Amino acid sequence: MSSTSDKAKGLANEAVGNIKQGVGKVTDNDKLRAEGKAQEVKGETQQAVGKAKDAVKDAVKKP
């Protein structure tokens, strides 16, 4: 998976996770809030992987 793809999927997971958390809070659904938090963390991790891939690419390009 490319770094851009990792970052995009991470951003999407983070957004969906935030929405789930909000809906869970409004509906007083603890399970949905927990799922949302887990998905948000997954998204943050995916974004970090994408950024790390970019950093490796940049380091390899430098003379």
- Predicted confidence (pLDDT) per residue in 5-53, tens digit: 999 999 999 999 999 999 999 999 999 999 999 999 999 999 999 999 9
Predicted confidence (pLDDT) at residue 63 exceeds the cutoff of 80: no
Is 21:37 a contact under the CB 8 Å cutoff? yes
Is 27:57 a contact under the CB 8 Å cutoff? no
Long-range contacts of 51-56 (CB under 8 A, 24+ apart): 51/3, 51/7, 53/2, 53/3, 53/6, 54/3
- The whole-angstrom distance between residue 23's C-alpha and the CA centroid of its chain comes to 18
How far apart CA 20 and CA 34 sit, in angstroms, is: 9
